[in-house]
Structure 1
Amino acid sequence: MQAFYSDHFVLPLPEGHRFPMAKYRMLRDALAQQLPAVRLMEAPRASDGELAFAHTPDYIDGITHGTVDPKITREIGFPWSEAMAERARRSVGATVAAARAALLEGYAANLAGGTHHAYADKGGGFCVFNDIAVAARVMQAEWGRTPAGRRAPLQVAVIDLDVHQGNGTAHLFRNDSSVFTLSLHGDKNFPFRKEASDLDVPLPDGCTDAPYLEALDSALQTLGDQFDPGFVIYLAGADPHEGDRLGRLKLTDDGMQTRDRRVFDWCHSRNIPVVFVMGGGYGMQIERTVQVQLNTYRIALEYWERGLVRAKHHTHTLSPG
């Protein structure tokens, strides 16, 4: 299973900044040591053309050259630097590359990504460019050039289980019937001004495993009833975990793993390829956040391996003789 990283593009942050930059390298190290079946690959750089599938030319240029309005960088939460701009491009490039790999292999991942607070012309909440929106539209464009794509457009479902609502993603796709946005999130958590997703499931502070999983099952049922995706983008945020500083929900380790299994099983049972990105995770102990994310990879690998067996069997049965 392929996974793309960009953790060596580190942006300089002020002393005491609350964004856990170190977790990305820690996750890559843990994957290399514990899950060697994950093929770790450096993220490519998203081009202006790819970014333009979701962002305005002025915003792309402003981030690239540091001329963006200082109010926007304050809303993002990162000071501008060349490293900041490069990391943002690499994070988008990682999701696009993983999406291409997932269409071929069933499952692939970005060790970062999930920047769902970014709008067409501005960022916010530690999100510069919206990798979900760019990847969805790039995949649709590339699919449209294939024989299958000429018969039917690629329908994309975004399953956003980060604890914060994906306001930027919801806004970008608000009039797009080819993309279904689903968000389970803390009702009273950031962003305080929500956008309307196709399906929003607001959860109360302190929500525990059982009601969360019941809400997720219901949401996946609704998604399946209302939409027929050919591709899924899954934001596997670690921040609903009970150890998260910013999450305000109370999912246990078992609850988080069950959440991931429900999503991957939903995709697997429908034979839908899925790219997953890591979204937020702000553990009081950063090691716990990394473990939550490592568990997501461990579960995804199980499904990837099952998919490979099925693909090999399918190829064998179609072989002559």
Structure 2
Amino acid sequence: MLKIAWSSRYCHPLPQGHRFPMEKYNLLPEQLLYEGTVSNENFFEPGLLDEKWILNTHEEGYLKKLKTLSLSKSEIRKTGFPLSAELIEREIHIMQGSLQASLFALEFGIAMNVAGGTHHAFTNRGEGFCLLNDIAISANYLLDNKLSSKILVVDLDVHQGNGTAEIFKNNKNVFTFSMHGASNYPMHKEKSDLDIGLPDKIDDAAYLKLLKENLHFIVEIFHPDFMIFQSGVDVLESDKLGRLGLSIDGCKKRDKIVMELAKTNDIPIMCCMGGGYSERLTHIIEAHANTFRIAQDLYF
């Protein structure tokens, strides 16, 4: 069964006019239920993550500043969110959602988190709508509990996974692969194990060719036994923050390439959603929904 992390806490209200689309965390499950792609039994509600697993990735001083709401104005500005206790609680629930989804992926081959993909969170700071890094926390949990020994992070958000790259820069058991807009945020890129910087307006065909070639190469040389897929849909041509040129169908084919490779090679995969900032919310929901539809079609 496809297991999907979702919580009403994911939909923390933001000030009117904020550019981060919290609405998608309610609308996406509603769409999947309405069309019959999933049923209520597919969803599980994550609780709060034990702090020891946060501290396995993030510095204690940084976590303390989050919990006591003592980030500086500059630090708050870099996260892009107005700081609140509810926001920190939301983030910790998201971390648990990805961790539990990773365990379900070991059981069922694939599992998803409606949120997550918070790849701009570093060991000691947050950036770009990311406070804690669910990708890194999940990977470190699997490694430390000897549930995995070689993890491949496939980050296909339009923005480089700079926080994830920093966290795993000296860890040979995690291969970080980021395919992102070369001219997009963050302007200072960290060094992933493999970075593919893409030109503005790249189309479906060129994008998918690059993805196939590089992803197959990585699997051949690294031999991962677990994959974490950051499936941001800000690669769409319609995205306000993206600058790439993918169609909704191209984004769907992207997801299918990743999941088919994982399934063919018997590599469990956890998918977290990442960004999406198209002007029309329907484009965001449709592109995200395709990720879940493909998972159901391929695995169940």
Asked whether the two chains share a fold, i.e. TM above 0.5, the reply is yes
Q: Deviations over 1:85-135 (max 9, x none)?
A: 001101111100100100111010000100000000000000000000000
Answer whether contact 2:98 2:135 (CA < 8 A) is retained: yes
What pairs with 1:115-154 in structure 2 (closer than 5 Å)? 115-142=118-145, 144=146, 154=149
Letter paired with 2:196: V
Match of 1:212 in 2: 207
Give 1:241's aligned residue.
236
Corresponding residue for residue 308 of structure 1: none
Which of 176, 181, 194 in structure 2 is aligned with 1:181?
176
Moved over 4 A (4+): none
1:23 aligned partner:
24
- The amino acid of 2:68's aligned partner reads H
Question: In structure 2, what is the equivalent of residue 52 of structure 1?
Answer: 55
* Separation of aligned partners in 2, 1:256 and 1:31: 18
Greater alpha carbon shift after TM alignment, 215-224 vs 178-187: 215-224
3-state secondary structure, aligned to 1:8: helix
Query: Who is 1:259 aligned against?
Result: 254
C-alpha RMSD over aligned residues: 1.2
Q: Structure 1 residues 65, 173: closer, same or farther in 2, change over 3 A?
A: same
Assess if the C-alpha contact under 8 Å between 1:9 and 1:83 holds in 2: no
Comparing 257-266 with 29-38, which one deviates more in the overlay? 29-38
Q: Shift of residue 61 of structure 1?
A: 1.3
Q: 1:9-45 deviations in whole A, cap 9, x for unaligned? A: 4434222110101111111111222212570111221
Q: How does 1:83-122 map to 2 (within 5 A)?
A: 83-122=86-125
CA distance in 1, matches of 2:143, 2:290: 30
Q: For 1:136-176, what per-residue CA distance to the aligned partner results, in whole angstroms no more than 9, with x for missing partners? A: 0011122x2xxxx6xxx611000000010000000100010
- The correspondence for 2:216, drawn from 214, 221, 238, is 221
What residue identity is the alignment partner of 2:179? L
Residue from 134, 144, 165 that aligns with 1:170: 165
Q: Contact 2:10/2:94 (CA < 8 Å) preserved in 1?
A: no
Structure 1 residues 272 and 9: alpha-carbon distance in aligned structure 2, compared to 1, 3 A threshold: closer
The residue number in structure 2 matching 1:36 is 38
Residues 1:292 and 2:287 are matched in the alignment? yes
Q: Structure 1 stretches of 5 or more lacking a match?
A: 306-321
For 2:13 and 2:75, the matched residues in 1 are separated by 18
SS, match of residue 9 in structure 2: coil
Identity of aligned residues (%): 38
Paired with 2:143 and 2:231, the residues of 1 have a C-alpha distance of 22
For 1:6 and 1:136, how far apart are their aligned partners in 2?
22
Q: Which amino acid aligns with 1:277?
A: C
* Partner amino acid, structure 1, of 2:141: V
**SS of aligned partner of 1:120:** coil
| Structure 1 residues 28-69: Cα deviation after superposition (integer angstroms, max 9, x where no partner) | 111222212570111221121111111011111111121122
Highest CA radius of gyration, 1 or 2? 1
Partner amino acid, structure 2, of 1:214: K
* Structure 1 letter corresponding to 2:212: D
1:250 aligned partner: 245
Contact 1:3-1:109 within 8 A present in 2 as well: yes
Instruction: Write the distance in 1 (CA, Å) between the matches of 2:277 and 2:245.
Output: 14
Q: How far is 1:257 from its partner?
A: 1.1
Residue 211 of structure 1 aligns with an amino acid whose one-letter code is A
Provide TM-score, normalisation by structure 1. 0.90
Deviation at 1:227, TM superposition (A): 0.3
- Residue number in structure 2 paired with 1:69: 72
- Structure 1 residue 203, shift from structure 2 partner: 0.4
Partner amino acid for 2:123? A
C-alpha contact 1:9 1:86 (8 A) present in aligned 2: no
CA distance in 2: counterparts of 1:171 and 1:36, whole angstroms: 36
The one-letter amino acid paired with 2:263 is H
Aligned residues: 297
